[in-house]
A and B are shown apart, each in its own frame.
Chain A
């Protein structure tokens, strides 16, 4: 049973437009959510996170929205740039077990010039 799902394996957008990556979860104990970005032949790197006490967190071009009732979060990238082309992983964690995150399968974003 996959507790974190990214239902879109890939997404293609035009440079300058908005990219919206979606993530759904099933475990109501998750209270912290993270997005990671992964380039080929590199490990994932942390991008942005949100606590369940918030519904929005913004960092420059990146904004994460959390809808707890729907158990859904999304990552918005505005404006999208070709360098944003990568695989984006959604991850979720709970207070218990401490420190452990559950990852989605990732969405490959391609930003076309």
Chain B
């Protein structure tokens, strides 16, 4: 079956511009996560959506970052007024509700470069 997809795969933008990154989770997965991985770093948690509950935004680094999840499916991560330090690979993952294994299924990521 189809896995988690993300678009675009690569995005180059100029400092100060806004960007939108899209994630299509696996159908039926109620949990959706955004992470970012800066060069040489680990996975940094950004935000977590679970069903109809309020999202866990505790990992968002600043108010320039926001995310939405429409209809419990597709999610968009928006970065406003991008800065060079926002350059990273942004990873989306999804997970089914009540997954005993708690494993997450990751997309291929969007590589964001801010010039």
| A43-B42 in contact (CB<8A) | no
How many of B's residues come within 8 Å of A, CB to CB? 24
Q: A97: CB under 8 A from chain B?
A: yes
Given contacts A43-B91, A99-B95, A100-B48, contact A93 B102 (CB under 8 A): yes
Restricting to B52-96, which residues have a CB under 8 Å from any CB of A?
56, 91, 93, 95
Stretch at the interface among A13-21, A67-75, A76-84, A101-109: A101-109
What is the CB-to-nearest-CB distance from B23 to chain A, in angstroms, rounded to a whole number? 11
Neighbour of A106 across the interface among B35, B42, B48, B102, CB < 8 A: B42
Neighbour of B108 across the interface among A41, A98, A102, CB < 8 A: A41
* A106–B89 alpha-carbon span in the complex (Å): 15
What is the CB-to-nearest-CB distance from B92 to chain A, in angstroms, rounded to a whole number? 8
Interface residues of A (CB under 8 A from B): 6, 32, 34, 36, 41-46, 49, 89, 93, 97-106
